Amino acid sequence: MGKNKKALSATDDVEDINISPLIDMVFILLIFFIVTTVFVEEPGVDIIKPMAFNAADLPKNCILIGVTESDNVFYGGEEVGLSGIRLKVRRMIRENSNYPVIIQADVGATNGTIARLIDECKLAEVPAGQIHLSLEKLNN
């Protein structure tokens, strides 16, 4: 205890370090992260994306749905299945009507599942042309 006290009083005598540049930097970092943050729920599954030349950049604010190799449908880190996805997507679309749906499908997923998933999204009132397949872009 005695030692601690001594140390404290010793530091009190020393002039303060100027911390305003530190604070400035922290503010800049804070603003950067506030601006870049998007609250997107990731499917949370490992996926090997199909590759294509015609891949356009997609918006950052979106609804991400994952489809694994064994055709399991994931949303927000949990398996919801084909039957549960409509409710989730509809809820998101009600809140943010301009959000597109991005399907992250594994190369091994079957077309039957993807087509049904697209149909479910359409039933969840996602506008036409707002459903995308996530791809790995190839450069020619």
Partner 1 sequence: MRNKKQFNNTDEVTDINISPLIDMVFILLIFFIVTTVFVEEEGMATNTPDPSPNLDKPDEEKERLSLLIKNNGEVFARFGANETNIGIGGVRAVVQQEMQQEVYPILINVEKESLIDTYVRVHDTAILAGAEGVTMKVVQE
Helix (H) / strand (E) element for 63: namely strand 63-67
Residue 20 vs residues 11, 16, 17, 32: alpha-carbon distances, Å: 19, 11, 9, 18
CA 41 to chain centre: 5
> Rounded to whole angstroms, how far apart are CA atoms 60 and 28?
22
Q: Which of 17, 95, 111, 139 binds partner 1 (CB under 8 A)?
A: 111
Both tokens of 73, joined, read: 């449908």
Residue 18 in contact with partner 1, rule: CB under 8 A: no
> Rounded to whole angstroms, how far apart are CA atoms 101 and 92?
10
The binding track of 63-102 with respect to partner 1, each residue x by CB under 8 A or -, is -x--x----------------------------------x
Residue 7 in contact with partner 1, rule: CB under 8 A: no
CB of 23 to partner 1, least distance (A): 6
Residue 40 in contact with partner 1, rule: CB under 8 A: yes
Residue 21 in contact with partner 1, rule: CB under 8 A: no
Q: Which of 2, 5, 10, 21 binds partner 1 (CB under 8 A)?
A: 5
